[in-house]
Every structure is written in C-alpha cells, then in structure tokens.
C-alpha cells in the first residue's frame, strides 16, 4: 500500500486516524471524505460538488429543461413526510 506524508500541522489524533483510514475499505474512505468536504465548505464558505452530486445536478437540470417536474401530489406527499412541527 502506498503511504503519503502527513502534514506536521495536524493534531496527533488526526494523524493517527488518517494512518488508520488507509486500511479502510474505499466506501468508508469516501464517506470520511464527504464529511471532510462538508467541514471544509463550512470553514471556507465554498462547497465543492462531488462527481456524484454534479451528475445528479445535471440530471435535475436536464429534467427541468424538459419540463419534467414533480406533481402537486408528489410534493404534498414529500411535505407530509418531511414536515416537522
């Protein structure tokens, strides 16, 4: 397995965790990367889409251009399921 130098600017706990992450399955590493991107976007004020998110946005924009929107019934069901009182 290829190893990368880890910055001296990190806390000891972060260094240890990142060394352990190298042995994780790719799916778990991607999950950690997603959380790290969210933290970075909060800190920088700029969110960078993942490839999966970019693909989903493009698909949604293509659907909108075709006029393919959720029906009123679908939206009412969505609000019913996700509305918090």
**Distance in angstroms (rounded) separating the CA atoms of residues 82 and 85:** 10
The count of other CB atoms within 10 Å of the CB of residue 15 is 14
61: left (phi over 0), alpha (psi -120 to 50) or beta: alpha
DSSP class of residue 48? -
**Distance in angstroms (rounded) separating the CA atoms of residues 46 and 54:** 15
pLDDT tens profile 4-62: 555 668 899 999 999 999 999 999 999 999 899 889 888 988 888 888 899 999 999 99
DSSP class of residue 85? -
pLDDT of residue 6: 56
């Amino acid at each position: 397995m290829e190893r990368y130098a880890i910055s001296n600017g990190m806390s000891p706990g972060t260094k240890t965790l990142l060394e352990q992450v190298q042995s994780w399955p790719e799916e778990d590493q991607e999950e950690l990367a997603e959380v790290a991107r969210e933290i970075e976007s909060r800190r920088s004020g700029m969110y960078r889409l993942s490839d999966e998110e970019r693909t989903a946005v493009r698909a949604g924009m293509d659907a909108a251009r075709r006029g393919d929107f959720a029906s009123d019934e679908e939206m009412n069901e969505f609000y019913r399921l996700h509305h918090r009182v």
